[in-house]
Amino acid sequence: MLSILTFLPIVGAIVVLLAPSDSLKKWLAFGATVATFVVSLLLLPGWQEIPDMQFVERYAWMPDLNIYYHLGVDGISLWLVLLTTLLMPIAVAFSNQHIKQNLGGYLALMLLMETAVLGVFLALDLVLFYVFWEFSLIPMAFLIGKWGSQNRIYAAVKFFLYTLAGSALMLVAILALYFNAGTFDLLELQRAGLPPGLQQLAFLAFALAFAIKVPLFPFHTWLPDAHVEAPTAGSVILAGVLLKLGTYGFLRFALPLFPVAVANYATLISILAVVGILYGALVALAQRDLKSLVAYSSVAHMGFVVLGIFALNEQAVSGAVLQMVNHGLSTGALFLMVGMLYERRHTRLMKDYGGLWASVPIFSFFFLVVAMSSAGLPGLNGFIGEFAILLGTFKSSPILAVLGTAGVILAAWYLLHAFRQVVQGALTNPANLKENLPDLNWKEIGQLVPLVLLFFAIGLAPNFFLDKINPSVAALEVVQTPAVGHELLVDSSDQSKQDSDINPLTTIY
Amino acid sequence: MLDLAWLILVFPSVGALINLFVGDKLRERGIHIVASGAVVLSFVVSLGLFFGLSGLDEHHRTATVHLWDWITIGSFTAPAALLIDPLSVTMALVVTGVGALIHIYAGGYMHGEQNFQRFFVYLNFFILAMLVLILSNNFVGMFVGWEGVGLASYLLIGFYFDRHDESYGHYADAGKKAFLVNRIGDFGMMLAVFLIWTSVGTVVFEEVSLGAGALTTGAATAVCLLLLLAATGKSAQLPLFVWLPDAMAGPTPVSALIHAATMVTAGIYMVARTHFLWELAPMAGSLAAWVGGLTALLAASIALTQVDLKKILAYSTISQLGFMMLGVGVGAYAFAIFHLVTHAFFKALLFLAAGNVMHGLPDGELDIRKMGNLRAKMPTTYKLFLIGAAALAGLPLLSGFFSKDGILLHVANFNILLYLIGLFTALLTAFYSFRAVFMAFWGEARDQHVHEHAHESPTVMTAPLWVLAVLAVIGGALNLPFLLTLEHYLEAAVGVPAFHPNWTMEVVLLVVSAVVAVAGVGLAYGRYIKGSSTAAGRFSAGVARLVGPFEPLARNKWYVDEIYAAWIVGPLLALSDWFNEVVDQGVVDGAVNLVGQANLALGGALRKVHNGLVPTYALSVFCGVVALLLWFVIGG
């Protein structure tokens, strides 16, 4: 089943390339992504709320080197898989409307990317993981480099080299793990345990790769360039899915394999995450280009995810997993909406808009909901993730939680600023008048509605999602037993003990 | 009956959804009926809850209606559940009752507006969020309503998102300011919730109340200070009150419902709801009392100098909220809630009457300097406004008199200086309320153009006001001295106050309050009607000379906005620009590009050495592997 899921898009890619006409290519690509989504939905009926890997597939791939084709999905990866398979048909539908040049190649690259990303989320063998990981770079680099805007080559090269450079050391570390334990299998490595010295070095190598991908401050500067230049669907997938590869990597590999190193570096990484939250938000506030504002908002939002992961307790880590999905939905929708404006007016500068509520009310209403989701309004999805992350962070480090919570104020600031510039105010530019600026058509509404419905579903009934996430998070070793030496950590498995022993005030004041 | 409590949320949700999706086919009348009908039905449910609750034993008048498990992660749980007790039912009655009247009124006020449909969607959404706020049985659920009403407020303040004028600037900016200032308060709320959960292990009010003993005084104080920050945002107190005057940019029914009667009282409600924490933190309570007292005084001083009718009422609201904060600060929760209720009646009445004035004058004129003798043109509105002003001024036997006096009585016991501040503020209140009455409705018409075009409003805009007017007059009967009905009713929710005044003290202070209120009205009469020729006029002119030096300060709102702009917003924006232009593009990205170029140069050099056969990437991987192998062979 997981193999079908992973490779269905690549089959689609081949079919799309062979198809004779553009309109057929469009339908085939859309059909392939929808089919993949349907297959991924089949994971839900048989889902068990247990910590273990489910739907596992394991075949010998290169037996001499002990390399296996090993796939599996658990509560940490489940929703990321579904996020990917949901965003893809939406991104393809958007592209079908707007991409004119070399459509077949474009759609094939999108489908290739879907296979690569799903592979990363499902692989349980480090070599297999690494192959998918590197493979995911290539289609995106081409999408930016070939279908992007003016400065696309610079952005594509920077994106490619920066993230590639980050993962080079990871390969070295993977080999080191193999030489130490004799296996590339994640679960076996986890059981075997690694010597602390190796953990430290290997963690740094993995962490660099993941931190660049997230991107964690100060490794984020490739992101605005890539986003501003990328075609809309590329941005949707880049922000919605590719960034999650970094945070997923931390959760899937760094936390289970290097618990000692994680305990050592948790504070440092958490501090970088908080800096990213505040810094990203302030830089977002200074943007004049709507797309780069959204790009910097990603730096801030992904900072929350990293903060949650390295708070190392159940609430924060589960919140971080959910927040990855939330960010994918909200930011995906934001980029989609920026794209919808751009296709109409061919500008992304906020000053070229203003007063759109009078001319395009449907667009404006969706923009409001999406902005509120991104700002973490309670009742919508973003709040659940942010709240759980900050709650858990407060437990392990009140000071960082206070600073992170301040980031929530700033998030409202830059989002309302964007809303004020684009949708509110007087409609002065004739190009924005009703006659010249059509409102969303039913196709565009169709692309946004699934995302908005999920905002409400996650916001109002988060337990449907959390119940599947929680068991896998609770089973993480670092989450259960805090390592010694990280004085801010608090044992989350023993709530009552913690209540009497730890007075959070001692750490605040 | 209590099990059906969820219906109270269903009606406004359905109303909002119907108007959102099919409102454009319903036309004004249909939209208005759906929206008002939804709130009326919620009011009926509230009544049902009230009677259902009254059927319970007096000491156990509380019920929890569990809806669903909302957030569960490990040991953290936040249910979606409603707490039905005297406090929440009292609030629900006010919100849906006053809300229904204002919905009905707004059908007339907003007649012919381009975005009529949008307005009523927002208004129903507001009622929904407000009910979530007051009915949730836990902090996180309350926070959903807390930010939800903030969103409704933001949207309604910026309802005329394309307008701007001298008095309010860009209306959309006023909405943004309200949301952001409130978010500063919300920051406090979130941290308070975190601290409560990490120390008590639950976020459900009743469980926190039972487990509050686990809190040290320090922790309880920290929690309450954070909650106080949240309350100063929502209830427009020092230092976060600056958003409320600008919020008057919204349509007047919104000012009445959200920015006077209901939403802004959420902070007061929240403190009363968490009274068990405040009882552990006397220091935080004192601070709340001082914040309330000083806010009341400061806002009243500004109200004296404003010439925009709605802004006078806005500052008055801030001032009255200060009284309520003073009340909860000194532990007089029941009286604070009492004042909250009576204030909802008379302030909603005043705002809607002001709405009639605005509606009946050309170009929605609000400047009281251009009015005068409006009672000739708008006799009904005049009577309504007069009743509201009299209740606000605290004239004897009207609702505001009893509720304000109840608070002052407890303050007198708490701290005599605060009592004097409160009493002085009461004097100012009576003065500015009747300054507005006299300048707008009495004397000579000062602008002929305005006066000629003035006309009375239709019945739909006066009938709901009569209901409010009656309540503003008799609302005091909810809690007559020595009978104490509301106070007693609320005991099950907010506890029995520690302080029981004796009869003598109660009577003496009652008389003092009455004298002060009458004196305030008399001073205004002397100054604005009699002129300086009479004794009364000379006396008030003398007072005016005395406080004259402060007048420019008060008129400019003590420059609080300017101070914030110069010391907080400006520096943050400068930092934001500096981060963007210098740090991000220069330092961080510069470093990346430098490394990139260095690598390319190095790669070029290596390529020469290796004749270009080995790409740098593969080479580095190779070197790395070799190095590691060596390390293992030698080291291992």
Among A198-212, A495-509, B205-219, B441-455, the minimum mean pLDDT is found in A495-509
CB nearest A286 (choices: B68, B74, B576): B576
Give contacts of B190 with chain A, Cβ < 8 Å: 387, 390, 405, 408
Binning pLDDT at 50, 70 and 90, where does residue B607 land?
low
CB contact under 8 A, A406 and B187: yes
Residue B445 has what pLDDT? Answer: 86
Among A260-264, A400-404, B422-426, B626-630, the minimum mean pLDDT is found in B626-630
Host H or E run for residue A436: none
Residue B389 has what pLDDT? Answer: 96
Burial of B439 (0-12, 13-18, 19+ CB in 10 A): buried
Binning pLDDT at 50, 70 and 90, where does residue A160 land?
confident
* Residues in CB range of A39: below 8 A, 6 or more apart: A1, A4, A5, A8, A85
Residue A284 has what pLDDT? Answer: 94
Distances from the Cα of B333 to the Cαs of B208, B319, B323, B415, B495, in angstroms?
18, 18, 12, 17, 8
CB contact under 8 A, A172 and B628: yes
Measure the CA–CA gap between B343 and B318, rounded to whole angstroms.
11
Measure the CA–CA gap between A309 and A305, rounded to whole angstroms.
6
Is-cis flag, bond preceding A215, omega within 30? yes
Residues A32-50, mean pLDDT to the nearest whole number: 95
- Can you give the residue ranges of every domain in chain B? 163-557, 559-635
Share of chain A above pLDDT 90, in %: 76
Residues A122-149, mean pLDDT to the nearest whole number: 91
Q: Hey, is B80 helix, strand or coil? A: strand
Give contacts of A498 with chain B, Cβ < 8 Å: 198
Residue A485 has what pLDDT? Answer: 37
State the distance between the two ends of chain B, measured CA to CA, in whole angstroms. Answer: 76
Chain A: nearest CA to B631, how far in angstroms? 10
Measure the CA–CA gap between B177 and B249, rounded to whole angstroms.
12
Of A288, A291, A333, the C-alpha closest to A440 is A333
Taking a C-beta distance cutoff of 8 angstroms, is the pair A259, A476 a contact?
no
CA dihedral B442, B446, B448, B454 (to 10 degrees): -40
CB contact under 8 A, A504 and B191: no
pLDDT at A127 over 60: yes
- The token duo for B462 is 């006066």
Give contacts of A391 with chain B, Cβ < 8 Å: 76, 193-194, 197
Residue B544 has what pLDDT? Answer: 75
CB contact under 8 A, B596 and A161: yes
Residue with tokens 């009310």: A361
pLDDT at B373 over 80: yes
Binning pLDDT at 50, 70 and 90, where does residue B478 land?
confident
Taking a C-beta distance cutoff of 8 angstroms, is the pair B69, A463 a contact?
yes
* Summary mean pLDDT of chain B: 88
* Residues in CB range of B593: below 8 A, 6 or more apart: none
CB nearest B214 (choices: A406, A460, A499): A499
Give contacts of B70 with chain A, Cβ < 8 Å: 460-463
pLDDT at B176 over 60: yes
Residue B339 has what pLDDT? Answer: 94
Q: Hey, is B458 helix, strand or coil? A: coil
CB nearest B161 (choices: A279, A357, A390): A357
CB contact under 8 A, A499 and B201: yes
Residues B182-201, mean pLDDT to the nearest whole number: 94
Residues B311-324, mean pLDDT to the nearest whole number: 95
Phi, psi of A96 (to 5 degrees): -55, -35
State the distance between the two ends of chain A, measured CA to CA, in whole angstroms. Answer: 53
Host H or E run for residue B64: strand B63-73
Residue B488 has what pLDDT? Answer: 80
Give contacts of A461 with chain B, Cβ < 8 Å: 68, 70
Measure the CA–CA gap between B86 and B274, rounded to whole angstroms.
14
CB contact under 8 A, B621 and A168: yes
Residue B623 has what pLDDT? Answer: 56
8-state DSSP, A67: E
Alpha helix segments (H runs only) across A286-380: 290-311, 314-345, 356-359, 361-374
Measure the CA–CA gap between B285 and B277, rounded to whole angstroms.
10
pLDDT at B616 over 90: no
Residue A148 has what pLDDT? Answer: 86
Residue of B nearest to A281 (CA): B576
CB contact under 8 A, A463 and B176: no
pLDDT at A489 over 60: no
DSSP string, B365-379: --BGGG---GGGT-H
Instruction: State which amino acid sits at residue A277.
Output: I
Q: Hey, is A380 helix, strand or coil? A: strand
* Summary mean pLDDT of chain A: 90
CB pairs A-B closer than 8 Å: 195
Distances from the Cα of B485 to the Cαs of A88, A478, B340, B400, B489, in angstroms?
63, 57, 15, 16, 6
Alpha helix segments (H runs only) across A381-490: 381-396, 398-422, 442-460, 463-474, 477-480
Residue A484 has what pLDDT? Answer: 39
CB nearest B74 (choices: A165, A463, A474): A474
Among A58-67, A294-303, A452-461, B381-390, the minimum mean pLDDT is found in A58-67
Give contacts of A482 with chain B, Cβ < 8 Å: none
Of B435, B426, B437, B436, the C-alpha closest to B296 is B426
Supply the Cα-derived Rg of chain A in whole angstroms. 22
Of A364, A318, A261, the C-alpha closest to B77 is A318
pLDDT per position as a tens digit, B246-278:
999 999 999 999 998 999 999 999 999 999 999
Instruction: State which amino acid sits at residue A61.
Output: W
Binning pLDDT at 50, 70 and 90, where does residue B430 land?
very high
Binning pLDDT at 50, 70 and 90, where does residue A392 land?
very high
CB contact under 8 A, B183 and A285: no
pLDDT at B33 over 60: yes
Chain A: nearest CA to B228, how far in angstroms? 16
Question: Which residues are registered as beta bridge partners of B170?
Answer: B164
Residues B529-534, mean pLDDT to the nearest whole number: 72
Q: Are strands B164-165 and B169-170 parallel, antiparallel or unpaired?
A: antiparallel
pLDDT at B103 over 80: yes
Question: Which residues are registered as beta bridge partners of B136?
Answer: B82
Among A390-394, A477-481, B408-412, B516-520, the minimum mean pLDDT is found in A477-481
CB contact under 8 A, A416 and B176: yes
* Residues in CB range of A355: below 8 A, 6 or more apart: A423, A424, A425, A426, A427, A428, A432, B161, B162
Burial of A127 (0-12, 13-18, 19+ CB in 10 A): buried
Half-sphere exposure of B190 (CA within 13 A, CB side): 32
* Residues in CB range of B215: below 8 A, 6 or more apart: B199, B200, B223, B277, B280
pLDDT at B627 over 70: no
Measure the CA–CA gap between A367 and A422, rounded to whole angstroms.
10
Give contacts of B575 with chain A, Cβ < 8 Å: 282
Residue A161 has what pLDDT? Answer: 84
pLDDT per position as a tens digit, B544-565:
777 777 888 888 888 888 888 8
Considering the entire predicted model, what is its pTM?
Answer: 0.91
Binning pLDDT at 50, 70 and 90, where does residue A138 land?
confident
Alpha helix segments (H runs only) across B55-170: 86-109, 116-135, 139-157
Chain A segment 184-243 residues within 8 A of B by beta carbon are 218, 220-222
DSSP string, B590-612: HHHHHHHHHHHHHHHHHHHHTTT
Binning pLDDT at 50, 70 and 90, where does residue B54 land?
confident
Longest dimension (CA), chain B: 108
Give contacts of A388 with chain B, Cβ < 8 Å: 71, 73, 76
Chain B: nearest CA to A208, how far in angstroms? 14
Binning pLDDT at 50, 70 and 90, where does residue B58 land?
confident
Q: Hey, is A421 helix, strand or coil? A: helix
Taking a C-beta distance cutoff of 8 angstroms, is the pair A27, A79 a contact?
no
CB nearest A355 (choices: B72, B162, B180): B162
pLDDT at A78 over 90: yes
